[in-house]
Structure 1
Amino acid sequence: MSPTLLNVPSHLDESMAAAFSLEDQPDQAVAYYEQILQQYPQHAAAYYRLGLLLFSQSHPEAVRRLEQAIKLSATEEQYWVSYVDALMLTGQLQKASAAIQLGQQYGLSQPFAIELARECVERMTQERSFSIEASTSKMPPQGLLDQLWQQACLLQNENQYQEAIGVLAHMVEIAPDHGAAQHALGRLLAETQSLEDALPHLEASLSSAPEIEQHWVTYIDAMLQLNAFKTAFDAMQAGRQYGLSESMQAVLFSDTINMILQMLDSETADQDSLWTALINDSGLYNQIVQDNLTAMEQIRQSGKLVDGCMQLDACMSFLHQFPILLEPQRLMGFIRMMVVKLMWAPELIGHKIFAPDFDQLLSQITLQMTAVVPRHEKRANFVIATEVYDFGGHTKDVLAILNTIENPVLVITDLYGRFANQAAFKKVASALPPTCPVIMLPNEPYLQKSTRLAALVNQQARNVFLLTHHDDVVAAVACQSTLDTHYYFIHHADHNLAIGNAIPHLKHIDLFGGRAIHCHEDLGLETQCLPTTSHDLGAKVFATDLQQFATVTAGSFGKFKSDGPLSLATIVTESLHSTGGKHYHFGEIPQQALEGVRQTLSQQGLDPDQFVYMGNVPSLWKALQDIDGHIFVGSAPIMGAKSDIEAQGAGYPLLAYRAVDCPRHMNVGSHAPETHYWHDMVTFKAALQDIMANHASLSASARAYYEAACSMQTYQQMLMDMSH
């Protein structure tokens, strides 16, 4: 009896999983996949699994099903690999060869294409060899090929290129696996016509004769002329398995890096794509990530504590191999982009957040300064930020400091050159102290920005409070150790890699006691805790006889997973199932994701109107008082530290996320001792039930914790002491 397919879109994944589990019973699995495709005719994965099953049964429909999978999802590399394999195993070699060429325009990578092409050529050769016994006319005699080759060489020597192209074209038509002819034809077409015409023949030369080093050199050179850097780097790696020597690979690699560096000097160049080529495509990013993962595993096995300092040996070697990058302006750009790339490495988030090597390099950049102004002659307290916004905990910290210290001056480095252009400052200007000057650095090269800022610090700043973004090299370099100024590095970028943490002349300030301990242990620096807080707007007064509860989340969509058990949609769904009330969300959610949440609720039999999207608000605390909410669910997997503080201050019991194997530097915040934690939906629902049963006492403990540990008075007094 065939399995019954659930007619509910949300069960598609379960249906696919059920079909997959039946694949050891091919007939039943085939029937199951066919039922799925009747309901979901655009489901590529179902076509793919069905095609594989049918092929294992030698069914004539197998190839067609694999073709349908590719038509629906042409970027899936494995679809192309299986399709080409099926074509070759069924003897459709010409069609397989065409599929390899087509696949490279979509999801088939160069290394896979080369391997598949090699196998295809071998099968063609075997097929021809077998056919020779019956009819030698199907395979051109070697003597004929030798004559054509000599003729082509003679024509090239006499500069009769078009005639040579004609002879070579005839050769590759009758003997497509003649590597030398394919290579020579490709080179001639590149020189006389276009690289686009040449590429198929250069690729064919690699497939036919990968052991010839010059074939790789010519192909890589063609890729560089097309600025196809990733393909060039991939070919360097693939070539080492065949005919490309280590010494030639090193020469090609060096030439390619220098070419990219020269292009980066052009103001009209696509800077983002060039940095991606230099860092990602070259393999440098992967090498650094792998080095750190290997070191982390070795330390774990030894029973020691994994510290937060990123291992950057590969990067330092790269800099010394290409010393032009050590020139200050280039070095600042390089370090900034390395941080941008590495701070989002998923394997390292929460584990590796310090970059002592980068901090040392930046602190060694010496700027040309006038005479140093003594500190006692200066009155201003600079607060330096990369950008500020009309929402989020980062800007709230900036504003809290500006509203506390005497003689504040806000400096915006505008590192990305977009803040002034978008007039974004107008959105937060009204929240600044009325007597606070604002300095916005002009859009100019990083080194010039740093020199300008350092001059301002020298002339005016008694103290500097740094609240910059992870990659702000401008501020880091501007804080010259030779200036008579006290620097305070406010460590708020706390679970991703950031520069500035390990610069020795910056006083390291953490916003949570636990983080101050971690930073001291890892960096060997004296750290100080400035306990984060928020303006006390009082506790919300909840009804004493609550019968129904409403939950609340807050944070940008980046603090949540887009799917799976930690997704915002799952959190909202389980909250509504448990409480029966409403769920409010504060913070920006992209429209598509917002529709996804509501669609999930509908699929689960819930009213989408139970989910109330509030967007960004000036004050989360005030908003929590105004809505009919009762329980605050912390964001997951990335905690919103400021949001948690404000929720507890407002008297909301907190349900916070804490992974079983949470990275040491992830989600270190300030929570009441009675805070409930969850790590999966089982613990989530159990904790929610307990909070509802003990809402009054947990509300009181949350408020008491804020008053004891997050006092605005203590915060302000510490800032005043620092700023004197």
Structure 2
Amino acid sequence: MTPVDEWFQLGLEQHRAGGLEQAESMYQQVLQHDPQHAEALHLLGVVASQRSQFDHAQVLIGRAVALRPDVASYHASLANAFSGAGALDAATLHYDQALQLQPDFAEAHNSLGKVKLAQGQIAAAVACFRGATASRPEYWQAHHALGTALMQLGEFDAAITAYQAAITLNPAAPNLYSELNAVLAAAGREFDAVDVYLGAIAAETASADETRKQAAGRQPLSAGAEAAERGEAGTWFSTVEAFAAELDRRKLDGDVEGALGLVQRIVRTCVFDRRGTAKVFADATLDRCCSQLGKARLTALQAAGDVVEEARVDCVVLATEVYRLGGHTAVIEDLLKTQCFGPRVVLMLTDAFNMADLSVIADRFGMAVESEVAPKGSLVPKLDWALNRLRALRPRRLVLMNHHNDAVTIAAAQPSLADETIFYHHGDHQLCLGVTLEHTVHVDPHPMGFHNCRDVVGVRNAVYWPFIAEDAGGRTAATWMRDGTLRTSSTGSSNKFESPYKIQYADVIPQVLACTGGVHVHIGPLSESTLSRIRGALIALAIPPQRFVHIPWVRSVWKALQALQIDVLIASFPQGGGKALIEAMGSGTPVIGHDCYISPFLGGADLYYPGAFQWARTEELLEHLRGLTPAQLQRESDDARRQYEQFHTVEALSLAINGAPDAPVVPSLRPHRVDPLQTFLDDVRYAQQDYAMHMQLIR
């Protein structure tokens, strides 16, 4: 894939995800290198239309049409731009051309129908909408539009049929019910209209409830359970003993659902509170509660009857859910690459928050695993499902990859259900369920986590399985500082850069560019406020804006750093990124880390190669950058690659999993000094924000 193709693909993916600014940037980069790239012109025009910049959209899409007059979608997009600007005759012309090229183009039929409706040509609009529904029967918006047009013609029975078809296809859209109610009333069917009106209220309420459930990351509790989660006057628990007593009460009452829900709520409240980060890692009371609840459910299930045992599996990976990009999903893939878990691996998802996207499993894992997902609904049925499936599969190894607050996974991890249970501690700088389980092999993927869990938390069964990245090759014939200036980069998601912290990324990077005179490439999403802040600082410092390059996403950080000829990676701060750092070192890219004053967990200093520079104050970073030379960059490139080869290859992970004598030894921790006074000042500075967040969480 050429750079132009990759830029275009990145733009397309960002466009589909709703990132208009990022998509626009990628399409513009494509056109800088290939001004005749018709699809980039077309989609850049679509972005303009989405921003209501219709005149600009007409110019861009018009150029695409001139280059490729045979593409129906170009004509349809140009028609959309004309329609948005109120030029309905021109819009009609291009919708007609789109349909001549592609007669089953449902969206063009539907859009042309809207234009006809706006022109008062209702019968013609009905014909267009019928064309849309015939071309794509599942197109609920076209059925909706057809119902609207038929009602205007007074054809109530046909309009009712159209609305009912739209509701069948999209039962969660409340406005469809209210509009159907109006048609039924106009047709003299008042009693039917009342039923539909009540249905509209129910659908709207259900839609809002689902939104709340997704935002909360848990199933809703009853009003009584909600109140019982807090102390008097709506305050949260003031002591560990208080929530332990509440958990005991629920267990004694047989309220397993309420107890599991409360455990998840407690963990979530801590995880999303800034004050708990890198301070609260584990709690034996919560883990013990989950285990006891799971044991009680397992006993009840065994008493109810045996399950049908299936062919025994080598390994079950029990996870909450999986994602398309990065995170613990990539870790599962890495573990499977070692081929240490046997030929038959089953991926079971508890779907504890009812948000799992089942298509991700096939996209990420293909035929490498069998997969099963818990039923949608409340927590106890999910737990029963997990326990019964583990009883049936009888795995030799059970690997736990739970989200921080997934109580179902921890409750299901009963010692009798697998020969060996492995807890993979990936949620390691925040409170996470499962850390203190005594019957598991406790896996930490980096030195900070291993030493913290063994020496601070008191985990006696900790082992080190290092983070890895598949080897894509080191640098060959590297040329450093090609134009006499440094080309720097940072990579990671926005949460790694935008947390409340004394030193802000948006303030540092303009100073870096002023210091180096070079280019800084940011790989990963950033909020619009951060991007605006960076651009404003560049203007103030008279730095050309093109020296800051924002690439929202790449398929491989490793290959991107090499292709962009990055001289040095300035690691994310205040929160470091483990996977990105491993890829950088593997690619032979020198790295600069940040010594975070809150905790060594956040900076990730102990993952770096020996001799990698760390800065605590911005002045230290700038001074180091001024002193870098091509010779030093080459030495650090070699050091980075050696660190990768020693600790972070598939082979190194395989040796660690198998407990081989030559497995990587856990690196010692670097000296680190926290700054309690600055941490206290942060707590004071963000107190109001922290309080607001906490109250939102407990409510």
TM exceeding 0.5: yes
Tell me the residue number matched to 1:588: 525
Structure-1 separation of matches of 2:500 and 2:418: 51
**Residue 644 (str. 1) matches residue 581 (str. 2):** yes
Deviations 1:396-436 (A, max 9, x none): 1121123333322222222221223xx6x34x633325242
Retained in 1: the 8 A contact 2:539–2:545? yes
Return the alpha-carbon distance in structure 1 between the equivalents of residues 447 and 529 of structure 2.
38
Please state how far the C-alpha of 1:313 moved relative to its aligned partner: 2.9
Q: Is residue 676 from structure 1 mapped to residue 610 from structure 2 by the alignment?
A: no
1:717 CA displacement:
3.8
Residues 278 and 441 (structure 1), Cα distance of their counterparts in 2 relative to 1, 3 Å cut: same
- 1:531 counterpart = 2:466: yes
Q: 1:280 to 1:438 in 2, by over 3 A?
A: farther
- Is 1:437 the equivalent of 2:374? no
Q: Secondary structure at the match of 1:621?
A: helix
Match of 1:282 among 234, 251, 262: 234
Report if aligned partners of 2:338, 2:651 keep a CA contact under 8 Å in 1.
Answer: no
CA displacement 1:202-241 (0-9 Å, x = unmatched): xxxxxxxxxxxxxxxxxxxxxxxxxxxxxxxxxxxxxxxx
What's the TM-score, normalizing by structure 1?
Answer: 0.55
Corresponding residue to 2:397 among 435, 454, 463: 463
CA distance in 1 between counterparts of 2:658 and 2:310 reads: 16
Task: Tell me if 1:363 matches 2:291.
Answer: yes
Q: In 2, distance between residues paired with 1:383 and 1:612?
A: 39
Larger RCO: 1 or 2 (CA < 8 Å, sep 6+): 2
Most deviating of 561-570 and 354-363:
561-570
Output aligned runs, 1:491-502, within 5 Å.
491-502=425-436
C-alpha separation between the residues in 2 aligned to 1:603 and 1:275?
52
Deviation track 1:237-274 (CA, whole Å, cap 9, x = no partner) reads xxxxxxxxxxxxxxxxxxxxxxxxxxx9x988798994
Q: Distance in 1 between matches of 2:582 and 2:224?
A: 37
- In the alignment, is residue 716 of structure 1 matched against residue 654 of structure 2? yes
| Aligned counterpart, 2:273 | 345
Q: Which amino acid aligns with 1:679?
A: A
Give the corresponding residue for 2:645: 707
Measured after TM superposition, the shift of residue 329 of structure 1 is: 1.1
Change (3 A) 1:277 1:360: closer
Instruction: Give the 3 Å change call, closer, same or farther, for CA 690–280 of structure 1 in structure 2.
Output: farther
Secondary structure in structure 1 of the residue aligned to 2:230: helix
Q: Partner amino acid for 2:334?
A: A
CA contact (8 A) 1:511 1:531 kept: yes
**Counterpart residue number, 2:682:** none
Which of 348, 356, 377 is the equivalent residue of 1:411?
A: 348
The alpha carbon displacement at 1:347 in A equals: 2.5
Question: Is the CA contact 1:372–1:483 (under 8 Å) kept in the aligned structure 2?
Answer: no
Please give the alpha-carbon distance, in whole angstroms, between the structure 2 residues aligned to 1:444 and 1:502.
28
Query: In structure 2, what residue type is equivalent to 1:448?
Result: P
Distance 1:649 1:273, change over 3 A: farther
Distance 2:437 2:334 in 1: 24
Separation (CA, whole Å) in 2 of partners of 1:712 and 1:453: 30
Whichever of the two has the greater Rg, that structure is 1
| 1:331 aligned residue | 259
Deviates more, 1:689-698 or 1:551-560: 689-698
Q: Which amino acid aligns with 1:576?
A: L
Say whether the 8 Å CA contact 1:510–1:528 is kept in structure 2: yes
Deviations 1:45-91 (A, max 9, x none): xxxxxxxxxxxxxxxxxxxxxxxxxxxxxxxxxxxxxxxxxxxxxxx
Q: Does 1:617 align with 2:554?
A: yes
State the shift of 1:527 in Å.
Answer: 0.8
* C-alpha contact 2:225 2:258 (8 A) present in aligned 1: no
Is the 1:467–1:490 contact (alpha carbons within 8 Å) kept by the matching residues of 2? yes
**Residues 438 and 616 of structure 1, relative CA distance in 2, 3 Å threshold:** farther
Letter of the structure 2 residue corresponding to residue 678 of structure 1: W
Distance 2:448 2:555 in 1: 28
- Is 674-683 or 659-668 further displaced after alignment? 659-668
Q: Does 1:507 align with 2:441?
A: yes
Q: Deviations over 1:562-603 (max 9, x none)?
A: 676532212321221222221112222233433333233223
Residue 459 of structure 1: CA displacement? 1.8
Distance across 1 between alignment mates of 2:379 and 2:570: 41
- Structure 1 position 384 matched with structure 2 position 323: no
C-alpha separation between the residues in 1 aligned to 2:518 and 2:222?
A: 51
Give the 5 Å matches for 1:179-578.
274=226, 278=230, 282-284=234-236, 287-288=238-239, 312-319=240-247, 327-365=255-293, 366=295, 367=298, 368-370=300-302, 378-405=312-339, 406=342, 407-420=344-357, 425-426=359-360, 429-460=362-393, 461-521=395-455, 522-541=457-476, 542-544=478-480, 546=482, 547-561=484-498, 566-578=503-515
Q: Deviations over 1:477-497 (max 9, x none)?
A: 111122233111111111011
**Per the alignment, do residues 581 and 454 of structure 1 end up closer, same or farther by CA in structure 2, a change over 3 Å counting?**
same
Q: Using a 3 Å threshold, how does the CA distance of structure 1 residues 404 and 268 change in structure 2: closer, same or farther?
A: closer
SS at match of 1:278: coil
Distance 2:589 2:622 in 1: 17
Q: In the alignment, does 2:608 pair up with 1:656?
A: no
Offset at residue 350 of structure 1 (A):
0.7
Work out the CA distance in 2 between the residues paired with 1:595 and 1:276: 44
SS of equivalent residue, structure 1 residue 482 = helix
| One of 532, 551, 566 as aligned partner of 1:629 | 566
> CA distance change for structure 1 residues 372 and 632 in 2, over 3 Å: closer, same or farther?
farther
- CA gap 1:589/1:664 in 2 versus in 1, 3 angstroms: closer
* 1:604/1:391 CA distance change after superposition, 3 Å: farther
CA contact (8 A) 1:403 1:433 kept: no
Aligned partner of 2:111 in structure 1 is none
Q: For structure 1, which segment, 402-411 or 373-382, has the greater mean C-alpha deviation from structure 2 after superposition?
A: 373-382
Look up the equivalent residue of 1:418 and give its one-letter code: M
One-letter amino acid matched to 2:641: R
Deviations 1:155-201 (A, max 9, x none): xxxxxxxxxxxxxxxxxxxxxxxxxxxxxxxxxxxxxxxxxxxxxxx
SS of the aligned residue for 1:284 comes to coil
Q: Relative to structure 1, is the Cα distance of residues 413 and 721 closer, same or farther in structure 2, using a 3 angstrom cutoff? A: farther
- SS of match in other structure, 1:584: strand
Task: Letter of the 1:434 partner, please give it.
Answer: M
For 2:415, the aligned partner's letter is S
Over 3 Å counting, the alpha-carbon distance change for 1:431 and 1:690 in structure 2 is farther
Instruction: Structure 1: state its 5+ residue gaps.
Output: 1-263, 289-311
- Offset at residue 669 of structure 1 (A): 4.2
Mapped contact 1:333–1:446 kept (Cα < 8 A): yes
Measured in 2, the distance between the counterparts of 1:550 and 1:535 equals 25
* SS at 1:583 equivalent: strand
- The answer on whether the counterparts of 1:413 and 1:440 sit within 8 Å (CA) in structure 2 is yes
> Does structure 2 retain, via aligned residues, the 8 Å contact 1:655–1:687?
no
Give SS of 2:408's match. helix
Letter in 2 for 1:432: F
Q: Is the 8 A contact 1:659 1:679 kept in 2?
A: yes
Give the unaligned 5+ runs of structure 2.
Answer: 1-215, 661-699
Q: Considering only aligned residues, what root-mean-square deviation do their CA atoms show, in Å?
A: 3.3
**1:708 Cα shift?**
1.5
Q: CA deviation at 1:543?
A: 0.5
CA contact (8 A) 2:267 2:404 kept: yes
Contact 2:250 2:258 in 1 (8 A): no
Mapping 1:18-33, distance limit 5 Å: none
Distance 1:524 1:401, change over 3 A: closer
